Each structure stands twice: as C-alpha cells, then as structure tokens.
Amino acid sequence: MARAALFDVDGTLTDTNHLHVVTWWEAFRQAGHHVATHDIHHAIGLGSTDLIAHLLGDDRDHDRDEEISAAHSTLYGTYFDRLSALNGARDLLHALHGRGRRIVLATSAGGAELGALRRAIDADDVIAGIASADDVESGKPAPDPVHHALDIAECAPDEALFVGDTVWDMRAASRAGVRSIALLSGGIPRADLEEAGAGAVYADPADLLGHLDSEALIGKA
C-alpha cells in the first residue's frame, strides 16, 4: 500500500455535498440566476470562483461573484453545528494510520468551514496535515492541491493514493501522477468517476474500509 493516503473531504469523508447544492442554488437564486440543482451537483468539488464560472459562464457579471460566494458561505454556515461524517470515515482514517500511512486532507474548504468539517470527522489525532483552499493558487481539477498534499506527506506521487468523490478529484490526482480511488457517497455516477481516472470505485468510506487489502489499495508503492 502507498505510504500516504490523501483525502478529499466533502462527499468523501463528510455527508455535505447535497447541503452545498441547496445552498449554492439559493445563493444563485438570490442573485437572480436560476441554475438547475443537477448542474450544481456536478460542479461540487470546484473552488467557489471556478464553480461560479463553470455554472454561469464567462459572460456573467464578474462583479457579483463575491456576493454569490458570500451568500453561499453564509447559508452553508448555518449547518456547521450539524455536519456529519459519512459512515466509516473516522474508522477508515484510523485504520490507515494504524497501518503506517500518513493521512493528509486536500480540500477546497478553509477557515470556519474547514474547522466544522474537522469536528465532524473527529480524527485530528491521525491527520498529518491539511492542504486547504488557502494554500494553493489553483484548486481542483488543477493538480496544485494534490501536489501540496504530497509535500505535507513528504512522499512522491507514486507513493501516495488519493481518495475522492468527484470527477474534479480524479482529474486533479491524475494530473499530479497519483493513483486515485473514488467513492459514490458524493452522488456522482460510477461511469463518470471511472472516465475521469478512478482506479477503483467503492460505495462509501465503510465499503473502502472493508477492502483495505484489495489490489487497488495495495498498489505498487
């Protein structure tokens, strides 16, 4: 198995993707945009600026980007004390740590949001570090977050495994030269994840925990 296990957070370790969908939908609505929840769902995993650009296009009023992002942050913030980890998330991180793997989170979340997610996961004792949105110039699908996570883990790309739940996660890992595993817990179809580069797909953290000795996880590292 790889020396390091790099994890996305939303939809991978925490049950938060659909909360993001609803709060982004409302933020767009408040700004006069009617964006389908299906389209928002498939954009989750992008940083705020990239998500807005992806959904509204380059001909939008860029001056309102900050307003929309702030509205989403405010709406999503009302859930901070109720965020929950996905089934098996904490146990999975502890099991990997127990096998000598360095655990690093790579997420577009930052600030108070990241703090709320960490409280939900409740595994700070085994997390070696976090590559957050505040640490890199470009978010997923750019490889920057994965590169930074590798730096924190102090390992090469072929010594790590990335676990995520979106096509953006898979593309970022692929561009960084890191093997990736996808979880279906974020709601993205298996075919989309495999097309984006997922080496294996599992239902959720609990399912992955039950397959720690599989060839997909052991790999060559």
For the record, the structure tokens of 185 come out as: 């817990």
Locate the domains of the chain by residue range. Answer: 4-15+83-218, 17-78
pLDDT over 90 at 37, yes or no: yes
Query: Under 8 Å CB-to-CB from 160, ≥6 apart: which residues?
Result: 2, 3, 4, 5, 6, 149, 150, 153, 178, 179, 221
Residue-wise pLDDT tens digits, 66-113: 999 999 999 999 999 999 999 999 999 999 999 999 999 999 888 899
Q: Name which of 98, 155, 93 is nearest 127 in CA terms.
A: 93
Q: What is the pTM of this model?
A: 0.94
pLDDT over 60 at 220, yes or no: no
Question: Given this model, what pLDDT does residue 102 score?
Answer: 97
Question: Given this model, what pLDDT does residue 216 score?
Answer: 66
Name the superfamily (CATH) of residues 4-15+83-218. Answer: HAD superfamily/HAD-like (3.40.50.1000)
Question: Given this model, what pLDDT does residue 203 score?
Answer: 98
Compute the half-sphere exposure of residue 158: CA atoms within 13 Å on the CB side of its CA.
Answer: 2
Question: Given this model, what pLDDT does residue 199 score?
Answer: 95
pLDDT over 50 at 180, yes or no: yes
Compute the distance between CA of residue 32 and CA of residue 164 in angstroms, rounded to an integer: 32
Residue-wise pLDDT tens digits, 192-208: 999 999 999 999 999 99
As a whole number of Å, the end-to-end CA separation of the chain is 6
Residue-wise pLDDT tens digits, 3-30: 999 999 999 999 999 999 999 999 999 9
Question: Given this model, what pLDDT does residue 221 score?
Answer: 41
The chain-wide mean pLDDT, for the chain, equals 94
